[in-house]
Amino acid sequence: MSQPTIRLSRRDAVAHFRADIVGSVARCELDHGQLIADLRNLSRKRFRPPGSKRTRTYSVPTLQRWYYRYRAGGVDALKPRRRCDAGRGQGLTAEQRQLLLDIRAEHPQASVPLILRTLELARVFPKGLVGPQTVRRLYREAAMPRQPRASVNPELDEVRQRLRWQAPYVCSLWHGDVCHALKLLDLSSTKSTPVLVHAMLDDHSRYIIRIEVRETEREQDMLEILANAVREHGGADRLYLDNGATYSGNVLSLVCERLGMHLLHARPGDAPARGKMERLFRTMREQCIDHIHGAETLHDVYVRLLAWREQYHRTPHSSLMGCTPEQVWREGVQSIRHQQRRPITEDELREAYVMRSERRVRKDSTVSFDGRLYEADASWLAGKKVMLVRSLLASDEPHVEFEGHRFSLMACDPEKNARRHRKPPKERTLEIPRTDFRPADVALDVMLGRDNEENT
């Protein structure tokens, strides 16, 4: 991992610049009258100050003041003195100050970096106009501190010890969870559409593997999101989920086993164990969800989340020692490629999602699967037990297997079947019995008394 470049502050750079000018004179033993002569020679030279594109000269009194300060206190004495009103946002106009105060009053939970980044991206503020500390001081003086979000579970602190941990490399552990973000109101009716944000996070790099917006929270949703993540980034060694019904199904466990991913679940009722996902969703709410207005469809929310994810990946992360999730992810992916880790192919993924279950075909040649009704074209399968086979990733209809043969199924349409011609039944031929076993004829002979006559 590349180390961040260390840069001097502006005051330190100016102090070293001044020391370079008068240092040579201060370190020499001077005769009477030689100091003024040397300073006059320096006043005729042109120097380029730190951060300036032009050169300039300095007067003898200025150089003399620097000289005595350097002799008395060294380099630190040459630092520019801070203004008494430093850090008060002198570059802000009255309108800009009022805008910042209005934003804080309307959005008390928004962080200062989010406010400044939004104003700079919207080109309301020029980049670098004011720093975060200055804005925080402005809010503090106006008695408008940031109001943190209320905790969902106030009893997060437990007696058991918790340690800071992290996966050793990328794709070693993926987190998955769903966030109940908001509701979209339909103005034409009283109905509202829930917006559920499904996300997957890489533990080592804090890189968002996948993020999708859906209306439902089912096992099928998790299966589709996992398949999309595997297609884009390959598989992970472990998948860490909570104990909700969405993540506790047998199908998800079977798919993870086939893909070589060890499925892990947090302890029931232990919300802090899922702290990384909870922190991600908190950041997502503070920086994006809480500021979405006028969205009418799930697509409107989704494109805004994608834009926020791009900014999130390029923002330095505190747990990554100042690096961005995108940097750590790319370096980790390169190391995985050097290890020649084989990705999961599409055929392997499709086979992992194949499900088989035993069903009995009804007398009307229909069979149910996943809440839908299918019918078999082979009518002679009615009443027989068959193996129903379907890939959860395939768009085609399921099929049945019986005695090593495969038979297709199609969706059952009762209204269409009402107008459908039935296949004519096969003609039945009377077979001549080979033995003299005729119960009906014997009963008739007994009734007519023929039995006695024949016996006599």
| Tens of each residue's pLDDT in the chain, 456 residues | 445 455 677 888 888 888 888 888 888 887 777 888 888 988 999 999 888 888 999 999 999 899 888 888 888 888 887 655 555 566 788 888 889 998 888 888 888 888 888 888 888 888 888 888 888 888 888 888 888 765 545 554 445 677 888 899 999 999 999 999 888 887 676 788 899 999 999 999 999 999 999 999 998 899 999 999 999 998 899 999 988 888 888 889 999 999 999 999 988 777 778 889 999 999 999 899 988 888 888 999 999 999 999 999 999 988 888 899 999 999 998 887 656 667 888 888 888 888 888 888 888 888 887 777 888 877 778 888 888 888 888 666 687 888 878 888 878 888 888 888 777 666 555 556 567 777 888 888 888 877 654 544
Give the DSSP H or E segment for 411.
strand 405-411
> The tokens of 62 are what?
């200025």
What's the pTM value of the predicted model, to 2 decimals? Answer: 0.62
CB 139 within 8 A of CB 92: no
Question: Rounded distance, CA 18 to CA 23, Å?
Answer: 8
> The tokens of 356 are what?
């088989």
Residues in the chain: 456
Q: Which residues pair with 107 in a beta bridge?
A: none
Q: Is 154 helix (H, G, I), strand (E, B) or coil?
A: coil
Quote the strand ranges of 191-323, DSSP E.
192-202, 208-214, 238-241, 262-265
Question: Which residues, other chains included, contact 400 with Cβ-Cβ below 8 Å and sequence gap of 6+?
Answer: 359, 361, 367, 376, 381, 386, 387, 388, 389, 406, 407, 409
- In single-letter form, the type of residue at position 173 comes to L
pLDDT for the residue numbered 277: 92
pLDDT for the residue numbered 156: 46
Indicate the burial class of 136 (C-beta count within 10 angstroms; 0-12, 13-18, 19 or more): middle
Other C-beta atoms lying within 10 Å of the C-beta of residue 374: 23
CB 338 within 8 A of CB 329: no
Concatenate the DSSP letters of all residues of 366-405 into one string: EEEETTEEEEES-GGGTT-EEEEEEETT--SPPEEEETTE
pLDDT for the residue numbered 455: 46
pLDDT for the residue numbered 206: 94
Indicate the burial class of 13 (C-beta count within 10 angstroms; 0-12, 13-18, 19 or more): middle
DSSP β-ladder status, 238-241 and 262-265: parallel
